[in-house]
Structure 1
Amino acid sequence: MIKNTLSLLMACLFFLQANAQKEYYFPGESFDSQIPSPESFLGYEIGEWHTRYDRLIAYFEELAEVSDMAELHTIGYTNQKRPLVVLVISNSSNIQNLQSIRTNHIKLVDPSQPLPDVSNMPAVINLAYSVHGNEPSGGEASILTAYWLLASQSDLAKEIRENAVVLIDPAINPDGRDRHTNWANMHKGSPPVADPLDREHNEIWPSGRVNHYWFDLNRDWLPLAQVELQNKIAWYHTWYPNVVGDFHEMGTNSTYFFEPTKPFGSENPVVPRKNYEDINSKFAAYFAKALDEIGSLYWTKEVFDNSYPGYGSTYPDIQGGLGLVFEQGSSRGHIQSSQRGDITFAFTIRNQLKTSIATMEAGVKEREYMHRYLREFFQTALSEANQSRTKAYVFGDEYDESRNRLFLKLLLDHSIKVVENDKDISIEGKNFKKGKSWIVPTSQPQYRMVRSMFEKVTEFADSIFYDASSWTMALAYGMPYASQTAMVNGKEVTALPVQELHFPVENQYVAYFVDWTDYFAPKFLHHILEAGVHVEANALPFTSNTDVGSKEFPAGSLIIPMAFQKLSASELRSVLHKAAEASGQHVYASTTGFSLKGIDLGSNNISAVQKPKVLMLVGQGTSQYEAGEIWHLLDTKVGMPISKVDIGLIGRVNLYDYNTLILTSGNYNSIAGPQLNHLKDWLNRGGTIISLRTASQWLQSQEIVKEEYLNTEASKGPDFIPFASRRDFEGAQAVGGSIYLATLDNTHPLGFGYRNQEIPVYRNSTIFFKPSKNKYQTPVRYTANPLLGGYISPANLEKVKQSASVLVSPVGQGRVIHFIDNPNFRGTWFGTNKMFFNAIFYGDRM
Structure 2
Amino acid sequence: MKKSLLFVFAFLVSISLVFSQEEYYFPGETFKNNVPSPSDFLGYEIGEWHTRYDLIVKYFEKLDELSPMAELIVIGQSHELRPKVILTISNESNMNSLEEIRLKQVQLADPRAEMPDISEMPSIIHLGYGVHGNEPSSAEAAMLTAYWLLASESDLAKNLLDNAVVHIDPTLNPDGRDRHSLWANSNKGFPPVADPADREHNEAWPRGRTNHYWFDLNRDWLPLAHPETQSKVEWYHEWYPNVTTDFHEMGTNSTYFFEPTKPYGSENPVVPRKNYDDINVRFAKYFEKYMNEIKSLYWTKEVFDNSYPGYGSTYPDIQGGLGLVFETASSRGHVQESQRGEITFAFTIRNHVVNSLATMEAALDNREYMNEYLREFFDTALSEARSSSVKNYLFGDQYDPNRNVLFVKFLMDHQIEVYENTADKTVGGVEYKAGQSWIVPTEQPQYRMVRTMFEYVGEFADSVFYDASAWTMAAAYGMPFAENGGGSRGELVESIDFESHAFPEGDAYAYLIDWSDYYAPKFLYHAQKEGIHVEQVNRPFTSETHEGPVDFPAGTLMIPMGFQQKSNEEVLASLEKVARETHQKVYATNTGLNLKGIDLGSNLVGALEMPKVLMPVGNGVSSYDAGAIWYLTDNQLGMPITKVDTDALGRINLFDYNTVILPAGNYSGLSDRFVEHFKDWVSRGGTVISIGSASLWLQREGITKEKPVEIEDLPDDPKELPFADRRNFEGAKAVGGSIYMAELDLTHPIAYGYQRNTLPVYRNTSIFIQPSQNKYLTPVRYADEPYLGGYISDTNLERLKESSSIIISPSGGGRVIHFFDNPVFRGTWFGTNKLLFNAIFFGNQMD
Shift of 1:28: 0.9
Q: Which residue of the partner structure matches residue 766 of structure 1?
A: 766
Shift of 1:428: 2.4
> Residues 3 and 182 of structure 1: is their aligned pair in 2 closer, same or farther, counting only changes over 3 Å?
closer
Corresponding letter in the other structure for 1:417: E
State the alpha-carbon separation in 1 of the partners of residues 640 and 486 from structure 2: 48
- For 1:608, the equivalent position in structure 2 comes to 607
Instruction: Name the SS of the counterpart of 1:156 in structure 2.
Output: helix
TM-superposed CA distance for 1:784, in Å, is 1.1
1:662 CA displacement: 0.7
Per the alignment, residue 444 of structure 2 pairs with: 444
After TM superposition, the structure 1 = structure 2 runs for residues 166-185 of structure 1, keeping only pairs within 5 Å, are 166-185=166-185
Shift of 1:673: 2.4
Any residues of structure 2 matched to 1:215-254 within 5 Å, and which?
Answer: 215-254=215-254
SS of 2:12's equivalent in the other structure is helix
Contact 1:391 1:488 (C-alpha < 8 Å) held by counterparts: no
1:636-663 per-residue CA deviation (whole Å, 9 max, x = no partner) reads 0010000001110111100000000011
Q: Deviations over 1:311-340 (max 9, x none)?
A: 000000000000000011110000011111
Q: What is the CA-CA distance between 1:720 and the residue it aligns to?
A: 2.2
Partner of 1:838: 838
- For 2:194 and 2:524, the matched residues in 1 are separated by 54
Q: Which moved more, 1:107-116 or 1:239-248?
A: 107-116
1:501 aligns with 2:501: yes
Name the structure 1 match of 2:579.
580
1:643 lines up with 2:642 in the alignment: yes
Q: Distance in 2 between matches of 1:38 and 1:141?
A: 10
Which residue matches 2:326? 326
**Structure 1 residue 5, shift from structure 2 partner:** 4.7
Report SS of the residue matched to 1:337.
strand
Q: 1:84 to 1:113 in 2, by over 3 A?
A: same
State the partner residue of 2:346.
346
**Shift of residue 489, structure 1, vs aligned partner:** 4.3
Query: 2 CA distance for matches of 1:782 and 1:145?
Result: 52
- CA distance in structure 2 between the partners assigned to 1:742 and 1:374 by the alignment: 41
| Contact 2:402–2:498 (CA under 8 A) maintained in structure 1 | no
Which residue of structure 2 lines up, in the alignment, with residue 33 of structure 1? 33
Q: Is the 8 A contact 2:394 2:485 kept in 1?
A: no
CA distance in 1, matches of 2:498, 2:403: 14
Query: What does the per-residue CA deviation read over 1:66-117, in whole Å, with 9 as the maximum and x for residues that have no partner?
Result: 0000000100011111000000000111111100110111111111112111
Cα distance in 2 for partners of 1:127, 1:606 equals: 59
Task: Work out whether residues 391 and 487 of structure 1, in 8 Å CA contact, stay in contact via their aligned partners in 2.
Answer: no
Q: 1:50 and 2:50 equivalent?
A: yes
Show the counterpart of 1:597.
596
Question: CA-to-partner distance for each residue in 1:102-134, whole Å, 9 max, x for gaps?
Answer: 011111111111211111100101011110000
Q: Which amino acid aligns with 2:260?
A: P
Residues 1:93 and 2:99 aligned together: no
* Structure-2 residue corresponding to 1:535: 534
Provide, for residues 492-514 of structure 1, a one-character-per-residue CA deviation record: whole Å limited to 9, x for no partner.
0011146131421113x110000
Q: Deviations over 1:117-166 (max 9, x none)?
A: 11110010101111000000000000100000010010000011111100
Write the letter of the residue equivalent to 2:544: N
CA distance in 2, matches of 1:554, 1:117: 60
2:509 aligned with 1:510? yes
Q: TM-score, normalised by structure 2?
A: 0.99
For 2:673, give the aligned amino acid.
Answer: P
- Contact 1:502/1:588 (<8 A) preserved: no
1:804 equivalent in alignment to 2:812: no
Question: 2:349 & 2:463 partners in 1: Cα distance?
Answer: 34
In structure 1, give the amino acid aligned to 2:518.
Y
Cα displacement (A) at 1:490: 2.7
Question: Are the structure 2 counterparts of residues 487 and 385 from structure 1 closer, same or farther at C-alpha, using a change threshold of 3 Å?
Answer: farther
Question: Counterpart of 1:133?
Answer: 133
Q: Deviations over 1:565-598 (max 9, x none)?
A: 0111111111111111111100001000000000
* Preserved contact between residue 537 and residue 606 of structure 2 (Cα < 8 Å): yes
8 A contact 1:712–1:768 mirrored in 2 = no
Report what 2:117 is aligned to: 117
* Coordinate RMSD, CA, aligned: 1.1
Aligned to 2:295: 295
Distance 1:33 1:497 in 2: 53
Distance 1:624 1:732 in 2: 25
Does structure 1 conserve the Cα–Cα contact (< 8 Å) formed by 2:134 and 2:332? Answer: yes
Separation in 2 of the partners of 1:5 and 1:689?
67
> How far did residue 3 of structure 1 move?
5.5
Say if 1:629 and 1:824, in contact at 8 Å, map to a contact too: yes
Which residue of structure 2 aligns with residue 524 of structure 1? 523
Structure 2 residue aligned with 1:153: 153
Counterpart CA distance in 2 for 1:824 and 1:584 is 22
Residue of structure 2 in register with 1:669 after alignment: 668
Q: Where in structure 2 are there 5+ consecutive unaligned residues?
A: none
Q: Look up the equivalent residue of 1:372 and give its one-letter code.
A: E
* Equivalent residue letter for 2:570: E
Check the 8 A contact 2:654/2:681 in 1, yes or no.
yes
- AA matched with 2:305: D
Secondary structure in structure 1 of the residue aligned to 2:690: strand
Cα distance in 1 for partners of 2:690, 2:8 equals: 65
Counterpart of 2:360?
A: 360
- What is the SS of the residue equivalent to 2:45? coil
Aligned to 1:739: 739
Q: Structure 2: how far apart are the matches of 1:4 and 1:316?
A: 53
Return closer, same or farther for 1:777/1:153 CA change in 2, 3 Å cut-off.
same
The sequence identity of aligned pairs, in percent, is 62
Counterpart position of 1:407: 407
Residue pair 2:422, 2:487 contacting (<8 A) in 1 also: no
Report deviation, 1:7: 4.0
Inter-partner Cα distance in structure 1 for 2:487 and 2:684: 60
Q: Kindly indicate whether the alpha-carbon contact (under 8 Å) linking 2:735 and 2:765 is maintained by their aligned counterparts in 1.
A: yes
Structure 2 counterpart of 1:144: 144
User: Secondary structure of the equivalent of 2:588?
Assistant: strand
| Structure 1 residues 4 and 652: CA distance shift in structure 2, 3 A | closer
User: Is the 1:614–1:662 Cα contact (8 Å) retained in structure 2?
Assistant: yes
TM-score (norm 1): 0.99
- Structure 1 residue 563: Cα displacement: 1.2
Partner residue, 1:378? 378
Work out the CA distance in 1 between the residues paired with 2:831 and 2:486: 28
Superposed displacement of residue 40, structure 1: 0.9
Contact 2:500–2:580 (CA under 8 A) maintained in structure 1:
no
Query: Secondary structure of 2:584's partner?
Result: coil
Higher mean C-alpha displacement, 275-284 vs 5-14: 5-14
Instruction: Give the Cα–Cα distance (whole angstroms) in 1 for the partners of residues 123 and 396 of structure 2.
Output: 40
Corresponding residue for 1:827? 827
In 1, the alpha carbon distance for the partners of 2:252 and 2:126 equals 27
Contact 1:441 1:487 in 2 (8 A): no
Specify whether residues 477 and 485 from structure 1 end up closer, same or farther in structure 2 by C-alpha distance, changes over 3 A only. Answer: closer
The code of the aligned residue for 2:180 comes to: H
The one-character-per-residue Cα deviations of 1:500-553 (angstroms, maximum 9, x if unpaired) are 31421113x110000000000000001110011110001111110000011111
Conserved 8 A contact 2:615-2:642:
yes
Note if contact 1:331-1:344 (Cα within 8 Å) is conserved in structure 2.
Answer: yes
State the alpha-carbon separation in 1 of the partners of residues 172 and 304 from structure 2. Answer: 20
> Superposed, which structure 2 residues align to 1:423-462 within 5 Å?
423-462=423-462
Deviation of residue 712 (structure 1)?
A: 5.3
- Stretch of structure 1 that moved more, 522-531 or 672-681: 672-681
In the alignment, structure 1 segments of 5+ residues that lack a partner are none
Give, in angstroms, the shift of residue 368 of structure 1: 0.2
**How many angstroms apart in 1 are the aligned matches of 2:793 and 2:373?**
37
Deviation at 1:4, TM superposition (A): 5.1
Corresponding position of 2:789: 789
Say if 2:684 is the partner of 1:685.
Answer: yes
Number of aligned residues: 845
Inter-partner Cα distance in structure 1 for 2:141 and 2:60: 13
1:761 is displaced (CA, Å) by: 0.5
Preserved CA contact (<8 Å) 1:259 1:280: yes
Partner AA of 2:32 in structure 1: D
Residue 623 (structure 1) aligns with:
622
CA contact (8 A) 1:90 1:161 kept: yes
8 Å contact 1:290–1:358 — kept in the other structure?
A: yes
CA contact (8 A) 2:454 2:473 kept: yes
After superposition, give the CA deviation of every residue in 1:20-60 in whole Å (9 maximum; x if it has no partner): 11110011111110001111100000000000000110000
Structure 1 contact 743–758 (Cα < 8 Å) conserved: yes
Contact 2:809 2:817 in 1 (8 A): yes
Conservation of the 8 A alpha-carbon contact between 2:498 and 2:583: no
- One-letter amino acid of the counterpart of residue 197, structure 1: A
Amino acid at match of 1:350: R
* Paired residues for 1:237-316 under 5 Å: 237-316=237-316
